[in-house]
Structures are given as structure tokens and as C-alpha cells.
């Protein structure tokens, strides 16, 4: 078993441990497992990447710093975490720019994009309208937070349908998991406290970062089903 597969096995194990730590209300286990997960996922990038790029390291570093927020005396940890995600999401637009190709769609592609975009747009506005008042003075920050992941997910889907490469698929799947995680995070913090939402968030968040690393280390080759290796 090579280092990359070993790290993925450890990551899978720690995701389960983190969920169990939350379910059994073990704050120590839950907090430190979350931090270790980010470290291991970042390590996966260094192990599997043939060329370390500073920009990608900065993006991963932001997610690491976000996890450190709970260890410091910060007046508003939720605000700090949202700001960290906003900073990371803004940087992720560079990936879309760097891998951009002229869009060429057939009728089925257009239908898929219009349907998917319409559904997510409805979800976006319904969620924001419900969260707007509970967020109070953070509603502008919350709107920007949701807007960035909304645009990243939509454009990520456009790129995947256009390019159909393994690299573009990893980016889309990453944004999809970030979107689920972010919406559940805001709903749990400002609207409805729910253990179920927290469990789903604890699963989606590290998987989103893992898929982002897979995007970073994958070559931009046309995707064929028999060549695709899942997680």
C-alpha cells in the first residue's frame, strides 16, 4: 500500500471517528480530529503532487487556519470561519480561470444546466430569505458566503459538462459538497440546531476538501468511465 492510499484510509477512518466523537459528545475528539483531517488531506496533496504550487498550498493553508479558530480567543468563531471560507472561495476562482475552455454545449447539456441552475437558485434564495434575519449584522457576510459557493458550483458544473474531464469532475464534486456543508452550517448556526445537520456537515466538509485535493493533483484528461477511479 502506497502513502497516498494509506492517507486516504486514515482520512476515511478519522471521518468516522469525528462523527462518533460528535454523537457521543466528546468535544476533545471532535475538535482535534477535525484539525488532523485537514492536516492529512493537505499531506495527501504533498505526497501525490509531482509539482508543489504555492497558490494551491495557500488555499489549503486557509482551511487549516479556519480549523485553528476554535483554539484561540476569538469573539465570533462563526464569523471567523465564514471569512476564512470566503477568502478560500475567492482564490478558487483562479482554478476556473486557469482551466477555462470555450463553452460548447448540445441541447441536452443546455437543458441539464438550466434545470440544475434553476433548482439551486431556488434553494439559494429560499435559504437566504430564511437565514437573513437570524444572521443579523452578519447577513451581508452570509450572503457573500452563499453567493460565492453558488457561483463556484454553477460554473464548476458548466466546466464539467463542457470539458468532461476527471479534473473538472473532482472540482464540481468538491463544490457540491462544500455547498451542502455551507448551507447546513448556516442553518445549524442561525436557524435550526440539529444533530442530523451536524453529522452531515462533518461528513461533507472533509470530503469536499479531499475532492479539492484530488482536483489539484489530477491531470486534465478526457474522462472515460472505465478509467475513472473513485475515492
Q: Which domain holds residue 10?
A: 3-217
Q: Tell me, yes or no, whether 179 lies in a domain.
A: yes
pLDDT tens by residue, 91-141: 999 888 877 777 788 888 889 899 989 999 998 988 889 898 998 889 999
Q: Tell me, yes or no, whether 169 lies in a domain.
A: yes
Q: Tell me, yes or no, whether 65 lies in a domain.
A: yes
What percentage of the chain has pLDDT greater than the value 70?
A: 93
Q: Tell me, yes or no, whether 230 lies in a domain.
A: no
Q: Are 46 and 52 in contact (CB under 8 A)?
A: yes
Instruction: Please say if the pLDDT value at position 33 is more than 60.
Output: yes
HEC string of 113-138? HHHHHHHHHHHHHHHHHHHHHHHHHH
Q: Which residue reads 442561525 in cell numbers?
A: 190
Q: Tell me, yes or no, whether 227 lies in a domain.
A: no
Number of domains in the chain: 1
Q: Tell me, yes or no, whether 197 lies in a domain.
A: yes
Q: Tell me, yes or no, whether 172 lies in a domain.
A: yes
Q: Tell me, yes or no, whether 222 lies in a domain.
A: no
Q: Are 8 and 44 in contact (CB under 8 A)?
A: yes
Task: Tell me, yes or no, if the pTM score tops 0.85.
Answer: yes
Amino acid at each position: 500500500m502506497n502513502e497516498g492510499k494509506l492517507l486516504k484510509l486514515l482520512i476515511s477512518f478519522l471521518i468516522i471517528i469525528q462523527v462518533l466523537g460528535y454523537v457521543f459528545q466528546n468535544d476533545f475528539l471532535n475538535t482535534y480530529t477535525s484539525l488532523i483531517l485537514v492536516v492529512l488531506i493537505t499531506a495527501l496533496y504533498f505526497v501525490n503532487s509531482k509539482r508543489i504550487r504555492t497558490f494551491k498550498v495557500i488555499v489549503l493553508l486557509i482551511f487549516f487556519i479556519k480549523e485553528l479558530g476554535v483554539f484561540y480567543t476569538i469573539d465570533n468563531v462563526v464569523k471567523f470561519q465564514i471569512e476564512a471560507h470566503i477568502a478560500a472561495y475567492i482564490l478558487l476562482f483562479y482554478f476556473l480561470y486557469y482551466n477555462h475552455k470555450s463553452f460548447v454545449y448540445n441541447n441536452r447539456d443546455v437543458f441539464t444546466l438550466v434545470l440544475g441552475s434553476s433548482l439551486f437558485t431556488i434553494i439559494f434564495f429560499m435559504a437566504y430569505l430564511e437565514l437573513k434575519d437570524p444572521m443579523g449584522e452578519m447577513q451581508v457576510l452570509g450572503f457573500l458566503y452563499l453567493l460565492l459557493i453558488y457561483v463556484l458550483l454553477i460554473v464548476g458544473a458548466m466546466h464539467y459538462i463542457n470539458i468532461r474531464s476527471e479534473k473538472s469532475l473532482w472540482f464540481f464534486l468538491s463544490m457540491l459538497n462544500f455547498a451542502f456543508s455551507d448551507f447546513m452550517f448556516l442553518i445549524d448556526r442561525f436557524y435550526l440546531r440539529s444533530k442530523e445537520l451536524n453529522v452531515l456537515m462533518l461528513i461533507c466538509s472533509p470530503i469536499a476538501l479531499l475532492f479539492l485535493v484530488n482536483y489539484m493533483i489530477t491531470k486534465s484528461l478526457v474522462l472515460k468511465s472505465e478509467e475513472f477511479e473513485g475515492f
